[in-house]
Amino acid sequence: MFSAPGKAFVAGGYLVLDPKYKAFVIALSSRMYAHAHVENGTGEHIEVRVKSPQFAEGEWCYKIDLSRPDRAEEIHGRGNPFVKSTIDVVLLYLAPKQTKRITVTIFSDPEYHSQKDSTPKTSKNGLKTLYFHSQPIHKVAKTGLGSSAGLVACLTTALLSCFSENFDVKSETTLNRIHNLAQVAHCHAQGKIGSGFDVAAATFGSIVYRRFDPQLVNRVIESWKNEDLVQLVDNTDWKIEHTKCCLPPGIKLLMGDIVGGSETPKLVSKVLEWRKKEPERSLETWTHLNSSNMRLVESLEKLQDLSKSQPETYKLSLRSLVEGNKSGFSDVVSSIQGIRRYLKIMTLESGAEIEPDQQTELLDYCMSLNGVLGGVVPGAGGYDAVCLLVAEEAIRDVVERTKDLSVTWLNLHEQETGIREEDVSSFIGFL
Ligand SMILES: Nc1ncnc2c1ncn2[C@@H]1O[C@H](COP(=O)(O)OP(=O)(O)O)[C@@H](O)[C@H]1O
Ligand SMILES: C[C@@](O)(CCOP(=O)(O)OP(=O)(O)O)CC(=O)O
> CA of 45: how far to CAs of 36, 128, 279, in Å?
18, 36, 54
Measured in angstroms, how far is the CA atom of residue 379 from the centroid of ligand 2?
5
DSSP H or E stretch at residue 4: strand 2-11
Per-residue pLDDT at 338: 98
Q: Can you tell me which atom of ligand 1 is nearest the CA of 112?
A: 22
Measured in angstroms, how far is the CA atom of residue 327 from the centroid of ligand 1?
42
Question: 197 CB under 6 A from ligand 2?
Answer: yes
Please measure the distance between the N-terminal and C-terminal CA atoms of the chain and give it in whole angstroms. 11
Q: Can you tell me which atom of ligand 2 is nearest the CA of 17?
A: 17
Distance from C-alpha of 208 to C-alpha of 201, rounded to nearest angstrom: 9
Measured in angstroms, how far is the CA atom of residue 344 from the centroid of ligand 2?
17
Measured in angstroms, how far is the CA atom of residue 224 from the centroid of ligand 1?
24
In this structure, which residue's CA is closest to atom 7 in ligand 2?
Answer: 379
Alpha-carbon dihedral 233, 238, 240, 244, rounded to 10 degrees: 40
Question: 149 CB under 6 A from ligand 1?
Answer: yes
- Please say whether the beta carbons of 377 and 355 come within 8 A: yes
Measured in angstroms, how far is the CA atom of residue 19 from the centroid of ligand 2?
15
Per-residue pLDDT at 101: 96
Question: 380 CB under 6 A from ligand 2?
Answer: yes
Residues 5, 7, 9: CA angle, nearest 5 degrees: 160
Measured in angstroms, how far is the CA atom of residue 363 from the centroid of ligand 2?
20
- Please say whether the beta carbons of 355 and 375 come within 8 A: no
Per-residue confidence of the chain (431 residues) as pLDDT tens digits? Answer: 999 999 999 999 999 999 999 999 999 999 999 999 999 888 888 999 999 999 999 999 999 988 887 778 898 888 999 999 999 999 999 999 999 999 999 999 999 998 889 999 999 989 999 999 999 999 999 999 999 999 999 999 999 999 998 999 999 999 999 999 999 999 999 998 889 999 999 999 999 999 999 999 999 999 999 999 999 999 999 999 999 998 999 999 999 999 888 899 999 999 999 999 999 999 999 999 999 999 999 999 999 999 999 999 999 999 999 999 999 999 999 999 999 999 999 999 999 999 999 999 999 999 999 999 999 999 999 999 999 999 999 999 999 999 999 999 999 999 999 999 999 999 999 99
In this structure, which residue's CA is closest to atom 13 in ligand 1?
Answer: 148
Question: 17 CB under 6 A from ligand 2?
Answer: yes
| Amino acid identity, position 254 | L
Got the DSSP string for 120-133? EEE-TTS--EEEEE
**Which ligand neighbours the alpha carbon of 60 most closely?**
1
Q: Can you tell me which atom of ligand 2 is nearest the CA of 12?
A: 3
- Please say whether the beta carbons of 33 and 422 come within 8 A: yes
Got the DSSP string for 178-210? HHHHHHHHHHHHHTS----HHHHHHHH-SEEEE
Dihedrals phi, psi of 408, to nearest 5 degrees = -115, 115
Beta pairing class for 251-258 and 407-409: antiparallel
Question: 356 CB under 6 A from ligand 2?
Answer: no
Query: What residues pair up with 208 in beta bridges, in sequence order?
Result: 24, 243
Question: 137 CB under 6 A from ligand 1?
Answer: yes
Question: 112 CB under 6 A from ligand 2?
Answer: no
Per-residue pLDDT at 392: 97
Burial 35-71 (b: 16+ CB within 10 A, else e): bbebeebeeebbbbbbbbebbeebebbbebebeebbe
Model pTM score: 0.97
In this structure, which residue's CA is closest to atom 16 in ligand 1?
Answer: 148
Q: How many helices (H) and strands (E) does the chain have?
A: 12, 15
**Which ligand neighbours the alpha carbon of 57 most closely?**
1
Query: What residues pair up with 20 in beta bridges, in sequence order?
Result: none
Distance from C-alpha of 401 to C-alpha of 257, rounded to nearest angstrom: 16
Three-class SS state of 140: coil
Distance from C-alpha of 191 to C-alpha of 356, rounded to nearest angstrom: 29
Question: 374 CB under 6 A from ligand 1?
Answer: no
Measured in angstroms, how far is the CA atom of residue 270 from the centroid of ligand 2?
14
Measured in angstroms, how far is the CA atom of residue 287 from the centroid of ligand 1?
33
Distance from C-alpha of 340 to C-alpha of 326, rounded to nearest angstrom: 18
In this structure, which residue's CA is closest to atom 18 in ligand 1?
Answer: 148
In this structure, which residue's CA is closest to atom 17 in ligand 2?
Answer: 195
Q: Can you tell me which atom of ligand 2 is nearest the CA of 14?
A: 3
Per-residue pLDDT at 17: 97
Residue 65 per-residue DSSP state: E
